[in-house]
Amino acid sequence: MKLGVFVSEYGTTNDTLERLKADFLGIVLVQNGVYNAVVSENGQTSPVLGKGTKVYALSEDLLVRGFDPSKVDKRVTVVDYGGVVDLIFNNFEKLIWL
């Protein structure tokens, strides 16, 4: 199964995310979830980025929070609203929101 997970909050851990199993897991960072793409604490990046999955961040949410989309972690692909729609219809069979 190809699973898309929308993450809307910033956190240093996410137990639910760690338990998810899928053939392909894509994480879409939206709202305050985009902080996972740019903020590091004590030199450590967000554990969301270390899951070995494909991670996307919504450019509009980065800009609203004052972040330059070109400065996100290299493991994150920045997409706009149209890109998120493409992901939903082309890349994922199921979606969840955390």
The top-scoring range by mean pLDDT among 9-13, 61-65, 71-75 is 61-65
The count of structural domains within the chain is 1
For residue 72, the cross-strand partners are none
Domain housing 36: 2-97
Kindly report, residue by residue over 16-42, the tens digit of the pLDDT.
777 788 888 899 999 999 999 998 877
Residue-level pLDDT at 52: 66
User: Looking at the predicted structure, is the pLDDT value of residue 85 above 90?
Assistant: yes
Burial label for 1, CB within 10 Å (0-12, 13-18, 19+), is: exposed
pLDDT band at 12 (very low <50, low <70, confident <90, very high): low
- Quick one: tokens of 10? 């910033």
pLDDT band at 59 (very low <50, low <70, confident <90, very high): very high
For residue 44, the cross-strand partners are 41
Indicate the DSSP class of residue 63.
Answer: H
Here the CATH number for the domain that contains residue 40 is 3.40.1260.10
